[in-house]
């Protein structure tokens, strides 16, 4: 035991000493690195100061610096202004004027980087920094030599150094000025593309945006164009340059075209004696790679960013998917009205006389009477003599009706805001207000409403158009045969004439199954439905419930989107989306308006009651801001249908003729609808005002031609899909009724047997149906003994081996 213990402790001691050794070796290296780092850092700093000082005092030191390095360093009488002293001045001169010009600062940068790396002060990529750094140094030296050539003769400072000038001149002689310029540009761009991953896609976009380019492009290229001519003009400089240079020794370098070249060469070469041949060789090597200058990089980057912003600001066009969509033409609508006034002067005068006489019989004097005739009604505005009680005239409604022998007389006493009493008298020959004239009207065409609805004409023959987004939901009621369906068609038609399929979707609920069925043709353009629903027009009460729940989900989704986008309503949100301020990759999408139209609302309430009423009320309360609007219609305006909840949430109401004043009150909270004359004569209440309007007439064949015109155009692949609503109650396991098999049951069975995998998602994909429906089919397949039970994430086992046994099974079902 004791032995074991001692051997263990000695092993541990050995390990410890090994570790210490390694640690000390490691720390020795670190120390060396630290020493080198500090040495390099101070050298780099010294060089930097000397270089900066050279820029300031190089002119004064110039005469001394033309001596050889040995002379400068050994001669004690030489006075040098450079802060770095003789050594600093010589180095700076060597780096800047005789070397690589201002690109020398790049060398300082690299020295600093090396110091940082050696001292492990910060993580830096040596290869990247050196790779691009050396490119940049060489490139900028040559570029400065090329672009700043005129400065060489005017200043003691050679911006690109002798190297830059020499190389650029050599290029000039070989490929000409233009060639050198292109070479510099090309190498710079290539370097940018190598350095920045997304540089090329951005450049490509920038180049393919003809509209945006001019602004950014011209500014850039102008600068370049200005720079380029200066560089190649060497003749003038050469003379003066030669003067400086003449003092120096001769070395032969061959320049292509200029007469003064020799002089230039002479000046350059003495100090370059041994360097120039090497540089020549380097040039050739360096030709290939591209080395942009730091500043230039930044500049290009800035340009690039600017162009991205411009891209980003370019508006998204929601209509782009169906960019060739043609709006329905006016010709599809018929002209029903003759255009001639239907009310004759005789009729007007006769009516006026009867009104005056009747009122006279009750001792009511009239000061003034004025007639305004509309398409079906003429309004007689009377100003009673002073002292006459207005309520007295109001009570004479029946008497006036009797004397005029006309139905549908309504007295408005007083007309709000006018101080007159109005008597509405039906025209003997009512005029049909054709939808065509309403759609073509300036009021409608020039309206800037989000969801414009042209309802008809007012009593003064003006087009009556409203914005559904302002209503924001409409309750339509009226006895049967009074124009309700025509009214709904007029509403839908006016929206179809103004909106693109990308901007608007309808959800149609039609328990009667016939009224709205004709709109199924535009399923792929304008309709919204739940995934897996075959028929886009909802007729079944259960489906109505699911659809309303789905709409509630869509509404909640939209609210989330609005919240994330910091938008208060759909208009603001869509504006932000269009101006590309919302990223689709973060779940944002363009939101079309959704208009839910429910015909025969009474039928639904009778069968489903609160289950229908509450989701409708919820949508009506909340959905306005997210662009979901409802229009519900009923021919039974009783209080158990139009309940307090519904009324509270549908401030805009349209009443066609009803049988009793009670019904009128139920709809409008006031009498009047019982005095209408039918055939599209209606009262529109927008909460604050009540307007009598003759509804525009649109016939079923007209609607058919409009929907066919739209339906024949290419549409979206499917209807707009609402969120899938999973009804917890209907999916009871084991309650599969094989007598009511899904229409796709047989085909799905074949698919499953052929593939020998019972996968719900495969059924969903193959038949483009929702997950719910595919799941139901799979349950039916299980009940029929075609697939085994659910095995969690695994596909179900297929119990039939071939199609023959499947066929037998299907025949027996
Ligand atoms: N705006 C109108 N201008 C002229 N005639 C109209 C207008 N609206 C309706 N009519 C006439 O009234 C008839 C019945 O209209 P509509 O079918 O719209 O009634 P409804 O209220 O929908 O009836 P129901 O409730 O039974 O469906 C139409 O066939 C048409 O002749």
Domains of the chain, start order = 30-124 (no CATH), 134-314 (no CATH), 345-426 (3.30.980.40), 447-549+595-721 (3.40.50.300), 738-812 (1.10.10.10)
Q: Is the pLDDT of residue 131 over 70?
A: yes
Residues 284/275, Cβ–Cβ less than 8 Å: no
From the list 725, 334, 619, 652, the residue with the least C-alpha distance to 493 is 334
469 CA distance to ligand 1 centroid (A)? 26
16 CA distance to ligand 1 centroid (A)? 102
Band (14; pLDDT cuts 50, 70, 90)? low
Q: Is 434 in the pocket of ligand 1 (CB under 6 A)?
A: no
- List residues forming the annotated binding site for ATP: 478-485
Tell me: the pLDDT tens digits for 700-755?
Answer: 999 999 999 999 999 998 899 998 876 655 444 456 777 778 888 888 998 888 88
Mean pLDDT of 203-213: 61
Least confident interval from 113-117, 341-345, 565-569 = 341-345
Least confident interval from 12-21, 41-50, 403-412, 744-753 = 12-21
Q: Is the pLDDT of residue 491 over 60?
A: yes
**From the alpha carbon of 489, which atom of ligand 1 is closest?**
18
Q: Supply the DSSP string of 459-480, one letter for each residue.
A: TTS-EEEEETTTS--EEEE--T
Measured in whole angstroms, the distance separating CA 138 from the mean position of its chain's CA atoms is 45
Q: Which of 50-59, 293-302, 408-417, 487-496 has the highest mean pLDDT?
A: 487-496
pLDDT score recorded for residue 456: 93
Q: Is the pLDDT of residue 319 over 60?
A: yes
By most ligand atoms within 8 Å of CB, the mutation choice from 430, 432, 481 for ligand 1 is: 481
pLDDT score recorded for residue 234: 35
Residues 564/577, Cβ–Cβ less than 8 Å: no
Mean pLDDT of 414-439: 86
Q: Is the pLDDT of residue 293 over 60?
A: no
Mean pLDDT of 788-796: 75
Q: What's the rounded Cα separation, in Å, for the pair 430 and 456?
A: 14
503 CA distance to ligand 1 centroid (A)? 29
Residues 134/156, Cβ–Cβ less than 8 Å: no
Q: Is 484 in the pocket of ligand 1 (CB under 6 A)?
A: yes
CA distances (Å), origin 528, targets 1, 317, 805: 85, 21, 40
Q: Is the pLDDT of residue 112 over 80?
A: yes
Q: Is 489 in the pocket of ligand 1 (CB under 6 A)?
A: no
Q: What is the ipTM of this complex?
A: 0.97
The residue nearest atom 11 of ligand 1, judged by CA position, is: 679
Q: Is 483 in the pocket of ligand 1 (CB under 6 A)?
A: yes
Looking at per-residue confidence, does 309 or 147 come out higher? 147
Band (409; pLDDT cuts 50, 70, 90)? confident
Mean pLDDT of 763-767: 83
**From the alpha carbon of 430, which atom of ligand 1 is closest?**
4
By most ligand atoms within 8 Å of CB, the mutation choice from 454, 464, 483 for ligand 1 is: 483
Looking at per-residue confidence, does 480 or 55 come out higher? 480
Q: Which of 25-39, 591-605, 762-776 has the highest mean pLDDT?
A: 591-605
Q: Is 697 in the pocket of ligand 1 (CB under 6 A)?
A: yes
Q: Is 695 in the pocket of ligand 1 (CB under 6 A)?
A: yes
Measured in whole angstroms, the distance separating CA 681 from the mean position of its chain's CA atoms is 43
Mean pLDDT of 464-492: 93
pLDDT score recorded for residue 494: 94
Q: Is 410 in the pocket of ligand 1 (CB under 6 A)?
A: no
341 CA distance to ligand 1 centroid (A)? 22
656 CA distance to ligand 1 centroid (A)? 10
pLDDT score recorded for residue 696: 94
Predicted TM-score (pTM) above 0.80: no
- List residues forming the annotated binding site: 478-485
The residue nearest atom 30 of ligand 1, judged by CA position, is: 679
Tell me: the pLDDT tens digits for 28-71?
Answer: 777 788 888 888 899 989 989 888 888 887 666 666 666 666 66
The residue nearest atom 6 of ligand 1, judged by CA position, is: 679
430 CA distance to ligand 1 centroid (A)? 14
Phi then psi for 802, rounded to 5 degrees?
-140, 170
DSSP 364: -
Band (658; pLDDT cuts 50, 70, 90)? very high
Band (793; pLDDT cuts 50, 70, 90)? low
Tell me: the pLDDT tens digits for 209-248?
Answer: 554 434 333 333 333 333 333 333 333 333 333 333 333 3
Which structure tokens are listed for 535? 């028929």
Which structure tokens are listed for 334? 């018929």
Measured in whole angstroms, the distance separating CA 261 from the mean position of its chain's CA atoms is 60
Tell me the average pLDDT of the chain: 78
136 CA distance to ligand 1 centroid (A)? 81
695 CA distance to ligand 1 centroid (A)? 10
pLDDT score recorded for residue 199: 77
Mean pLDDT of 260-289: 41
Q: What's the rounded Cα separation, in Å, for the pair 312 and 315?
A: 8
Tell me: the pLDDT tens digits for 548-560?
Answer: 999 999 999 999 9
Q: Is the pLDDT of residue 380 over 80?
A: yes
pLDDT score recorded for residue 504: 94
pLDDT score recorded for residue 520: 92
Band (771; pLDDT cuts 50, 70, 90)? confident
By most ligand atoms within 8 Å of CB, the mutation choice from 375, 480, 486, 516 for ligand 1 is: 486
Phi then psi for 251, rounded to 5 degrees?
-140, 140
Mean pLDDT of 663-678: 90
pLDDT score recorded for residue 728: 55
Mean pLDDT of 104-114: 89
Q: Is 375 in the pocket of ligand 1 (CB under 6 A)?
A: no
Mean pLDDT of 379-391: 85
Band (614; pLDDT cuts 50, 70, 90)? confident
The residue nearest atom 2 of ligand 1, judged by CA position, is: 680
Q: Is 369 in the pocket of ligand 1 (CB under 6 A)?
A: no
CA distances (Å), origin 71, targets 82, 87, 445, 702: 17, 11, 92, 105
CA distances (Å), origin 111, targets 38, 321, 427, 587, 697: 11, 56, 99, 48, 86
Band (776; pLDDT cuts 50, 70, 90)? confident
The residue nearest atom 22 of ligand 1, judged by CA position, is: 485
Q: Is the pLDDT of residue 254 over 80?
A: no
Q: Is 680 in the pocket of ligand 1 (CB under 6 A)?
A: yes
512 CA distance to ligand 1 centroid (A)? 16
459 CA distance to ligand 1 centroid (A)? 19
393 CA distance to ligand 1 centroid (A)? 33
Q: Is the pLDDT of residue 251 over 70?
A: no
**From the alpha carbon of 486, which atom of ligand 1 is closest?**
18
pLDDT score recorded for residue 281: 44
**From the alpha carbon of 482, which atom of ligand 1 is closest?**
21
Q: Is 179 in the pocket of ligand 1 (CB under 6 A)?
A: no
pLDDT score recorded for residue 68: 67
683 CA distance to ligand 1 centroid (A)? 15
Instruction: Please state, for a pLDDT cut of 70, what percent of the chain lies above it.
Output: 78
């Amino acid at each position: 035991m004791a032995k074991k213990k001692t051997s263990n402790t000695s092993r541990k001691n050995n390990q410890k000493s090994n570790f210490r050794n390694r640690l000390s070796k490691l720390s020795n290296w670190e120390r060396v690195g630290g020493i080198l780092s500090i040495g390099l850092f101070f050298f780099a700093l010294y060089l930097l100061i000397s270089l900066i000082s050279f820029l300031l005092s190089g002119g004064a030191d110039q005469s001394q610096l033309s001596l050889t390095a040995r002379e400068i360093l050994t001669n004690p009488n030489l006075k040098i202004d450079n802060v770095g002293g003789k050594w600093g001045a010589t180095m700076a001169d060597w780096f800047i004027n005789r070397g690589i010009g201002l690109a020398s600062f790049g060398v300082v940068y690299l020295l600093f980087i090396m110091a940082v790396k050696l001292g492990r002060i910060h993580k830096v990529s040596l290869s990247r920094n050196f790779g691009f750094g050396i490119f940049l140094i060489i490139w900028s030296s040559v570029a400065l030599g090329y672009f700043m050539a005129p400065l060489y003769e005017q200043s003691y400072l050679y911006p690109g150094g002798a190297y830059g000038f020499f190389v650029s001149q050599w290029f000039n002689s070989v490929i000409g000025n233009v060639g050198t310029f292109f070479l510099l540009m090309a190498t710079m761009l290539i370097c940018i593309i190598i350095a920045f991953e997304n540089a090329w896609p951005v450049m490509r976009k920038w180049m393919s945006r003809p509209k945006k380019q001019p602004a950014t492009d011209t500014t850039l290229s102008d600068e370049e164009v200005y720079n380029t001519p200066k560089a190649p003009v060497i003749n003038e400089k050469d003379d003066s340059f030669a003067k400086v240079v003449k003092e120096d020794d001769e070395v032969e370098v061959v320049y292509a075209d200029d007469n003064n070249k020799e002089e230039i060469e002479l000046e350059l070469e003495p100090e370059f004696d041994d360097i120039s041949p090497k540089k020549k060789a380097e040039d050739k090597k360096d030709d290939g790679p591209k080395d942009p200058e730091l500043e230039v990089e930044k500049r290009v980057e800035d340009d690039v960013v600017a162009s991205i912003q411009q891209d980003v600001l370019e508006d998204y066009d929601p209509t782009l998917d169906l960019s060739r969509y043609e709006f329905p033409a006016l010709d599809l609508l018929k002209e029903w009205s003759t255009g001639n006034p239907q009310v004759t002067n005789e009729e007007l005068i006769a009516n006026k006389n009867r009104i005056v006489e009747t009122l006279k019989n009750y001792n009511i004097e009239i000061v003034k009477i004025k007639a305004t005739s509309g398409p079906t009604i003429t309004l007689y505005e009377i100003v009673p003599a002073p002292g006459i009680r207005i309520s007295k005239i109001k009570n004479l409604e029946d008497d006036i009706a009797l004397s005029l022998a006309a139905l549908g007389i309504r007295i408005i006493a007083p007309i709000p805001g006018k101080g007159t009493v109005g008597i509405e008298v039906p025209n003997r020959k009512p005029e049909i207000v054709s939808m065509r004239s309403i759609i073509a009207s300036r009021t409608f065409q020039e309206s800037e409403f989000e969801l414009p609805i042209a309802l008809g004409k007012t009593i003064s023959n003006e087009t009556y158009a409203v914005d559904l987004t302002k209503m924001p939901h409409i309750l339509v009621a009226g006895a049967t045969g009074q124009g309700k369906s025509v009214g709904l068609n007029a509403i839908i038609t006016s929206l179809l004439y103004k909106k693109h399929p990308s901007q608007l979707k309808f959800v149609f609920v039609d328990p009667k199954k016939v009224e709205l069925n004709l709109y199924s043709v535009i399923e792929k353009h304008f309709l919204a439905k739940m995934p897996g629903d075959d028929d886009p027009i909802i007729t079944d009460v259960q489906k109505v419930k699911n659809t309303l729940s789905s709409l509630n989900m869509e509404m909640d989704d939209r609210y989330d989107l609005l919240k994330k986008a910091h938008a208060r309503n759909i208009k603001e949100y869509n504006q932000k989306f269009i101006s590309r301020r919302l990223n689709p990759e973060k779940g944002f999408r363009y939101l079309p308006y959704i208009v839910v139209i429910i015909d025969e609302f009474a039928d639904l309430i009778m069968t489903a009651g609160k289950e229908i009423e509450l989701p409708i009320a919820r949508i009506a309360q909340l959905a306005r801001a997210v662009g979901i609007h409802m229009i519900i219609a009923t021919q039974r305006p009783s209080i158990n249908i139009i309940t307090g909840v519904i009324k509270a949430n549908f401030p805009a109401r349209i009443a066609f003729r009803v049988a009793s004043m009670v019904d009128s009150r139920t709809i409008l909270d006031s009498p009047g609808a019982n005095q209408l004359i039918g055939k599209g004569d209606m009262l529109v209440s927008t909460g604050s005002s009540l307007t009598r309007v003759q509804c525009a007439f649109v016939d079923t064949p007209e609607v058919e031609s409009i929907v066919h015109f739209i339906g024949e155009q290419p549409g979206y692949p499917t209807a707009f899909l609402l969120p899938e609503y999973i009804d917890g109650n209907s999916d009871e396991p084991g309650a599969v009724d094989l007598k009511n098999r899904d229409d796709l049951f047989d085909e799905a069975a074949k698919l499953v047997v052929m593939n020998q995998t019972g996968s719900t998602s495969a059924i969903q994909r193959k038949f483009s149906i929702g997950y719910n429906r595919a799941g139901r089919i799979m349950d039916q397949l299980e009940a029929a003994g075609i697939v085994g039970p659910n095995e969690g994430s695994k596909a179900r086992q297929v119990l039939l081996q071939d199609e023959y046994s499947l066929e037998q099974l299907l025949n027996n079902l």
